[in-house]
Amino acid sequence: MTTSTPYVPGAIRQFLRSIDEYTTLCPADGIVTGDLPPGDITAPFATITAPSNYGVDPMLRRPLIQIDVWVPRWEILGGDVEPEELAWNIGDLGARLIHKARQQKFRNCTWNAEWIDGPITEVDRQRGVDLPLFRSITRFDVKVVVR
């Protein structure tokens, strides 16, 4: 039977959900793979995707993982930190945790990551000018060894 490469965004999701320091800022149920949920976002949210996956060997892959942190406007979120800064802080914290993590086990592989980009900030107004989402993007080169 051919061994498949595990879903690396799922590995990163599992890792971030296990870190209390991260889930204090971004709730565990708001750390997802895939797209933003429909409707209003009332708390910080993180989406994890793999926009690229390369490697010279099927047992050694290097997916590019991107984490987008989304934070609603201040009037919805509340708190003492501006949404743009909070998105930056969450993106930066996630990047540091992932980059510093020693080799992690996930299903039939091990992984470790190198922080390569971000946080990069922008404001998304696709849901309307009254519902902006403050976004922070970080990217990682993840080395995956399939066992």
What per-residue confidence (pLDDT) applies to 45? 93
What per-residue confidence (pLDDT) applies to 78? 82
Q: How far apart are CA 58 and CA 11, in angstroms?
A: 18
What per-residue confidence (pLDDT) applies to 56? 74
Q: How far apart are CA 83 and CA 26, in angstroms?
A: 12
pLDDT in tens, the chain (147 residues): 556 778 889 999 999 999 999 999 999 999 999 887 777 788 999 999 998 887 777 666 788 999 999 999 888 888 888 999 999 999 999 999 999 989 888 888 889 999 999 999 999 888 778 888 999 999 999 988 887
Q: How far apart are CA 24 and CA 27, in angstroms?
A: 6
Q: What is the pTM of this model?
A: 0.89
Peptide bond into 58 cis (omega under 30): no
b/e sequence 18-33, b meaning 16+ C-beta within 10 Å: ebeebeebbeeebbbb
**Which CATH number does the domain 8-146 belong to among 3.90.380, 1.20.120, 3.30.2000, 3.40.1360?**
3.30.2000
